[in-house]
């Protein structure tokens, strides 16, 4: 959930987009990261993924849900997420986070692969970074119960930090709170982060708008004189007052 100075996911390198989803689907979500994947084109020009090499007669293949141009040699159930419905609902309720939001984060982060790993160390369903694993006392990040518990608690902490603004919380989950704060409490201008927030917005089923608008008053001392400014973005540093709140 954190990135380095090089931009979004610079410190994470999490597989993203369709290739990650297809790889997880082709492996059945439970294969080790070292498994060999073989690819070829069938007679129709469609990309086929398999964990077995093609020798002689072509292997039968199956459609991959939500990926019309890809097929796999292992049948892929349409929705593997149902196995985690109760777990997601429980921790969403305990932390006061929308269930659909948690589900969307998991879908985008790992495609519901509990064994997902990124080259930079993000782990499990909600792609916890090592610092988050330690912060929330996770013993086994590949255990869905521990992973979702910590991931939703961390998402709740970000929602608290950004006044329940889901867009900013998601941007921080992807790029790190420091990136959001550095850009004036706005979604950082990183393509990956902006796409990440937009994708979760679509999956979660409704526009991710903050619960209300607040106007903040700040005072700076310039040339020995106080200068008052007003903004609708919470100042990242310094003292400030809330002078108006709309709901």
Catalytic residue list: 109
Half-sphere exposure of 56 (CA within 13 A, CB side): 1
- Cα–chain center distance at 110: 8
Q: What's the CA angle centered on 3, arms 18 and 117, to 5 degrees?
A: 50
Q: How far apart are CA 238 and CA 121, in angstroms?
A: 34
Contacts of 105 (CB under 8 A, 6+ apart): 126, 151, 155, 170, 173, 200
Angle between helix 99-110 and 144-161 (nearest 10): 110
Residue 135 buriedness (CB in 10 A; 0-12 / 13-18 / 19+): middle
């Amino acid at each position: 959930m954190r990135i380095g100075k090089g931009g979004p996911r610079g410190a994470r390198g999490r597989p993203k987009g369709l290739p990650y989803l297809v790889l997880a689907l082709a492996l059945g979500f439970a294969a080790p990261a070292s498994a060999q994947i073989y690819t070829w084109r069938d007679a129709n020009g469609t990309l086929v993924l398999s964990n077995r090499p093609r020798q002689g007669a072509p292997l039968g293949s199956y459609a991959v849900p939500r990926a019309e141009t890809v097929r796999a040699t292992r049948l892929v159930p349409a929705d593997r997420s149902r196995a985690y419905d109760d777990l997601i609902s429980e921790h969403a309720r305990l932390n006061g986070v929308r269930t659909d939001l948690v589900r969307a984060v998991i879908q985008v982060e790992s495609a519901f692969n509990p064994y997902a790993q990124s080259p930079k160390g993000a782990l499990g369903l909600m792609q916890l970074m090592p610092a988050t694993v330690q912060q929330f006392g996770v013993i086994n990040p590949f255990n869905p119960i521990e992973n979702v518990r910590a991931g939703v608690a961390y998402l709740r902490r970000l929602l608290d930090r950004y006044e329940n603004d889901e867009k900013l919380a998601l941007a921080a989950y992807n790029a790190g709170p420091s990136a959001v704060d550095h850009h004036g409490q706005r979604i950082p201008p990183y393509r990956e982060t902006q796409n990440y927030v937009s994708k979760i917005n679509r999956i979660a089923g409704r526009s991710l708008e903050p619960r209300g608008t607040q106007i903040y008053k700040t005072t700076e001392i310039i040339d020995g004189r106080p200068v008052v400014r007003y903004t609708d973005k919470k100042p990242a540093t310094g003292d400030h007052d809330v002078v108006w709140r709309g709901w």
